[in-house]
Amino acid sequence: MSNQEVYRELAKMRPPAALCTVVRTQGSVPRQVGAKMLVYPDGRIVGTVGGGELESRIIGRALGIMDERKAEVVTVSLVDPEKGDAGVCGGEMDVFVEPLLGEATLLVVGCGHVGREVAALGKWLGLRVAVTDDRAEFCNPEKVPDADLYLPGTIPEALEGFEITDNTYIAAVTRGVKADVQALPHLLRSPAAYVGVIGSRRRWTVATEELQALGVPDEQIRRVHAPIGLDIGAETPREIALSILAEIVALRQGKGPRATSWLPPRLKE
């Protein structure tokens, strides 16, 4: 069976998905090295790596790998079903499963001193950078030269033409609680992989009280990383940007928490 159907799908697909490729075979197997299959989050597939229980196991692992965001070689044995193997062909296959997540995007909310440094460092790290600020005079190439996309206006206005995906990382580095409370109800309804908010614990406590008064569910509030960034003793805008991007990199590499490191006492589980 040819891989042409998979290649055609790859040319038009929108992430996320997982590409599964047979990279090693031993003994009798249904497909040979190079056979490909594309798996979508809903379980839909294009192509095949062998069908049956073997393929079912690869699909199941591919769904997990998309969530984990890390490629993996999956070994499937086809020797003894009674021992839990996937078939009776008598061989073994290694399948390389690669998550296709699309381009990672950094959305910087707030184009002040810290926002400009976050945008610059994010661009240097190879992220697609979008910036937004309700002050149009701050959200432009002259003020923030390192962004790819400028979204001046309120958050509802900015998000009209901008899609937040589960490969989007949001750094809210605004000028105060009022701006946070205006932005966060919209941002927290998104599937963003990361939402960080700058400021002290006191500022975050006040913000959570106001968000709760607006009806934002506690489970959404718990998604926030606040105070934003790793605690490296940062003081200058550039150092703060470093702490923020370090936290995002750690999360992307599976080394960081997917929830805030500090919560007001009433929100602790």
DSSP element (H, E) containing 108 = strand 105-109
Tell me, letter by letter, the H, E, C secondary structure of 150-169: EEECCHHHHHCCCCCCCCEE
For residue 22, give the 3-state DSSP assignment.
strand
Position with higher pLDDT, 50 vs 79? 50
Residue 211 pLDDT > 90, yes or no?
yes
DSSP element (H, E) containing 63 = helix 52-68
Each domain of the chain, given as residue ranges in start order, spans 14-100, 105-267
Residue 259 pLDDT > 60, yes or no?
no
What CA–CA distance (Å, rounded) separates 85 from 88?
Answer: 8
Q: What confidence score (pLDDT) does residue 82 get?
A: 54
CATH of domain 105-267: 3.40.50.720
Answer yes or no: are the C-beta atoms of 28 and 39 closer than 8 Å: no
Residue range 8-61, pLDDT digits in tens: 998 887 888 999 999 999 988 888 999 999 999 999 999 999 888 889 999 999
